[in-house]
Amino acid sequence: MPEHIPVLLTEVVSAFSLQKGDAFLDATMGLGGHSKKLIAHFPKAIFYGIDQDPEALEIAKERVPQAELLLGNFQDLAVIAKEHALPLFKGILMDIGVSSLQIDIAGRGFSFQQDGPLDMRMDPENTVTAATIVNTWLEFKLVNLFSHYGEERFSKTIARKIVQHRKKHPFYTTKELADFLVECYPVGLRSKHPHPATRVFQALRIEVNRELDALEMGIEASFSVLAPGGRLAVISFHSLEDRIVKHMFRQAEAAGFGVVITKKPVIASKEEQADNPRSRSAKLRIWENKKA
């Protein structure tokens, strides 16, 4: 079973105040790290969790048997809540990062640090993989994808070289693509941080899973199922996500639906960043629904 270190754990627990009978939803259950801690801290609350990854959900069932778990994507939260007659939630958590299960298992194709199929699907029912995009998209679409979702400054060069290369040798594995991306970079930047594959892999993952669209829909849905005075906490891991969260929270506050609790995002302590490098880019923002 993969190691799972949830980020900003203390800060997430501090974001909520759950009483007996209050309902809480972990909208990105993953391997259950955050929920396990929250359940220990608020044992009299009622916990629910959803995740689109059935493999992660099976592990979570073992780790947090106290929670009622459902298969689904948080973008469909309003529909899921209605179908299962779920209560309004006093707290909702959305952790937008890729789970340890997805990163650490090579077969899922999320990481360029180990070889695996060029997949990157969080939902195995999804028909689009990273290989589909790399091997079939037109050059201008790849340029737009890498520059917008990856903020990759060499997007034009990379897209052009990918299209040239795939005519004879399509990309099938993460190592093939990662090694190729290193060669696309200027020699003096190939060994710099971050790795030359980082931004392209991020862009592919976002597109395969439609992550930014899902985030907007998930926040909208969360607003609709929050109880009066309930809180929504969102952890994001890159600027595109954080920008969406900040903008939507501010818009909702301006419309009088509630208040933004975190005027600036909460980040991991130096100690946590040293212990868990994945926490270095994590940003937590908290919204409180209007009280009745």
Q: In 3-state terms, what secondary structure has residue 116?
A: coil
Q: Which of 39, 100, 91, 99 is nearest to 67 (CA)?
A: 39
DSSP state of 172: -
Q: Minimal CA–CA distance to 76: which of 242, 213, 208, 204?
A: 213
Residue 72: per-residue pLDDT: 93
Q: Is residue 250 left, alpha or beta, with left meaning phi > 0 and alpha meaning psi from -120 to 50?
A: alpha
Model pLDDT, residue 1 = 45
CA 76 to chain centre: 15
DSSP for 10-49, written as a single string? HHHHHH----TT-EEEETT-TTSHHHHHHHHH-TTSEEEE
Least Cα distance to 69 among 60, 77, 79 occurs for 60
The terminus-to-terminus CA distance of the chain in angstroms comes to: 44
Please state whether beta strands 23-26 and 89-95 pair in parallel, antiparallel, or not at all (unpaired). parallel
Rounded to the nearest 10 degrees, what angle do helices 211-225 and 198-209 cross at? Answer: 50
Cα 17 to the chain's mean position, in Å?
24
- φ/ψ of 162, rounded to 5, equals -60, -45
Burial 222-236 (b: 16+ CB within 10 A, else e): bbebbbeebbbbbbb
- pLDDT for residue 99: 56
Alpha-carbon gap, residue 21 to 138, rounded angstroms: 53
Per-residue confidence in pLDDT tens, the chain, 292 aa: 445 689 999 999 999 999 999 999 999 998 899 999 999 999 999 999 999 888 889 999 999 999 999 999 999 999 999 999 999 999 999 999 765 544 555 455 456 667 889 998 888 888 999 999 999 999 999 999 999 999 999 999 999 999 999 999 999 999 999 999 999 999 989 888 788 999 999 999 999 999 999 999 999 999 999 999 999 999 999 999 999 999 999 999 999 999 999 999 999 999 999 999 889 999 999 999 998 7
Q: What is the crossing angle of helices 174-184 and 198-209, to 10°?
A: 130
What is the pLDDT, as a whole number, of residue 106? 46
* Residues whose CB falls within 8 Å of the CB of residue 105, separated by 6 or more in sequence, listed in order: 2, 116
Query: Which of 220, 219, 242 has the alpha carbon at shortest distance from 97?
Result: 242
